[in-house]
């Protein structure tokens, strides 16, 4: 039996389905397998900035968490502790709180910090690791755009939510002979749109990796009409943009530590279609619906495996690692090597070829068809 350890766990960035399953797995593995104790840092790393914002996690705290969406610890994608905004004489100043986090980590008598999050969270994790905190990262994002893992939990549920929406929109689109546009999340990667479009039987799928041609889209809608298809379903990723144009954004990034807010391409697309042909269009922006609710079984299982494996890394003293999925196995990679890379859809890869082989329009000329 290894010596008793005190583990802190935080959830950062956007919420997603499966976060509670990770927390549950860490607490149960720590308690039953190793006899360690776990505390939760509330709202990201707020508990290590203000030590009153920590929560003891024992078995009773994680009962019933497996099917629950969100995170009982709270999360945030604002207030990067390495670039933390404070008001000084009426002006916003940014300060680095990493030394304070290191100090509080020691005062809480912690042995290791597990940080669950996407690329931004893991970049912070790596900086804290360089400051001397033993860190284990667990990869998480509904966008499935982290380079070093084959899949992230939350993605499968987000896709299923989108597929359910597309299924429902099919019937109303067919009844009213409309073009239904479904805007989905994913930021700069098209994984959610591509998977949801294929799983939901969409006619047109537009992703950031393939800038779309409006003429091709119009041709596809008219082609369906001429063949007796009096409606069309379009799935568009929030980061998709027209060939020769720019992304539609709601808010620009204020600094290198901020993120621009995407969204609005669905309504833009609806207006452009209306300028070219006489057809009714309707837009559904799924937005945060994709992040909420009960995780599907795959995400519950993957999150549980990630949490358990993180504890195994702690037992080995193998810190500075990110827990990932490779094939059927849970593995780890060095945090340093996982930074600054996004996994994008290959515009000429097998998944795209599958879509175009069944005559799904991706906003470009389909060279696979005779």
pLDDT at residue 258, rounded to an integer: 63
Q: What is 6-153+295-338's CATH number, 3.30.56.10, 3.40.50.300, 3.30.1360.40, 3.40.50.450? A: 3.40.50.450
Q: Is 203 a catalytic residue?
A: no
Which H helix or E strand runs over 115? strand 112-117
Per residue in 240-260, pLDDT tens?
A: 999 999 998 887 766 655 677
Which member of 15, 119, 143, 148 is catalytic? 143
Residue 233 near residue 201 (C-beta atoms within 8 A): yes
In the predicted structure, residue 167 carries a pLDDT above the cut 90: yes
Q: What is the dihedral of CA 236, 353, 161, 170, to 10 degrees?
A: 70
DSSP symbol at 284 = E
Per residue in 194-229, pLDDT tens?
A: 999 999 999 999 999 999 999 999 999 999 999 888
In the predicted structure, residue 2 carries a pLDDT above the cut 90: no
**Mean model confidence pLDDT for the chain:** 93
Reported as a pLDDT band with limits 50, 70 and 90, residue 152 is: very high
In the predicted structure, residue 347 carries a pLDDT above the cut 70: yes
User: What gap in Å lies between CA 13 and CA 22, rounded to an integer?
Assistant: 15
In the predicted structure, residue 230 carries a pLDDT above the cut 80: yes
Per residue in 268-298, pLDDT tens?
A: 999 999 999 999 999 999 999 999 999 999 9
pTM beyond 0.85, yes or no: yes
Q: Phi, psi (5° rounding) for residue 260? A: -70, 150
290 CB contacts (<8 Å, ≥6 apart)?
Answer: 142, 157, 158, 161, 162, 184, 185, 192
Arithmetic mean of pLDDT, 301-308: 98
Q: Does domain 156-292+346-357 have CATH number 3.40.50.460?
A: yes
Q: How buried is 214 (Cβ within 10 angstroms: 0-12 exposed, 13-18 middle, 19+ buried)?
A: middle
3-state SS, one letter per residue, for 33-78: HHCCEEEEECCCCHHHHCCCCEEEECHHHHCCCCCCCCCCCCCCCC
User: What gap in Å lies between CA 197 and CA 216, rounded to an integer?
Assistant: 17
CA angle 205, 207, 208 (to 5 degrees): 165
Reported as a pLDDT band with limits 50, 70 and 90, residue 184 is: very high
Arithmetic mean of pLDDT, 129-145: 96
User: What gap in Å lies between CA 49 and CA 41, rounded to an integer?
Assistant: 9
Per residue in 13-46, pLDDT tens?
A: 889 999 999 999 999 999 999 999 999 999 999 9
């Amino acid at each position: 039996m290894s010596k008793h350890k005190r583990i802190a766990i935080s959830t950062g960035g956007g919420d997603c389905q499966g976060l509670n399953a990770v927390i549950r797995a860490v607490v149960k593995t720590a308690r039953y397998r190793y006899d360690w104790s776990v505390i939760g840092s509330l709202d990201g790393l707020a508990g290590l900035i203000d030590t009153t914002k920590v929560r003891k996690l024992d078995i009773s705290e994680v009962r019933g968490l497996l099917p629950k969406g969100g995170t009982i610890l709270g999360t945030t994608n604002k207030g990067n502790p390495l670039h933390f905004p404070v008001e000084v004489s009426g002006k916003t100043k940014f300060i680095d709180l990493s030394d304070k986090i290191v100090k509080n980590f020691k005062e809480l008598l912690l042995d290791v910090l597990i940080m669950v999050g996407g690329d931004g969270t893991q970049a912070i994790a790596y900086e804290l690791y360089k400051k001397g905190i033993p860190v284990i990262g667990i990869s998480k994002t509904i966008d499935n755009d982290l380079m070093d893992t084959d899949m992230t939990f939350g993605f499968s549920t987000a896709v299923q939510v989108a597929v359910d929406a597309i299924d429902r929109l099919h019937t109303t689109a067919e009844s009213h002979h409309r073009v239904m546009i479904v805007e989905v999340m994913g930021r700069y990667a098209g994984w959610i749109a591509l998977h949801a479009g294929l799983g939901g039987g969409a006619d047109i799928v537009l992703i950031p990796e393939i800038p779309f041609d409006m003429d091709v889209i119009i041709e596809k809608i008219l082609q369906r009409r001429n063949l007796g298809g009096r409606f069309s379903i379009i799935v568009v990723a929030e980061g998709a943009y027209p060939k020769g144009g720019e992304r539609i954004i709601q808010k620009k990034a204020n600094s290198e530590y901020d993120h621009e807010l995407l969204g609005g391409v669905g309504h833009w697309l609806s207006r452009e279609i209306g300028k070219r042909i006489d057809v009714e269009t309707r837009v559904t922006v799924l937005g945060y619906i994709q992040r909420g609710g009960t995780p599907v079984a795959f995400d519950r299982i993957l999150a549980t495996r990630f949490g358990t494996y993180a504890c195994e890394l702690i037992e080995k003293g193998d810190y500075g690692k990110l827990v990932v999925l490779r094939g059927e196995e849970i593995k780890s990679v060095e945090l340093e090597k996982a930074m600054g890379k996004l996994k994008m859809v290959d515009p000429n890869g097998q998944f795209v070829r599958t879509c175009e082989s069944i005559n799904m329009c991706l906003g470009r000329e389909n060279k696979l068809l005779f």
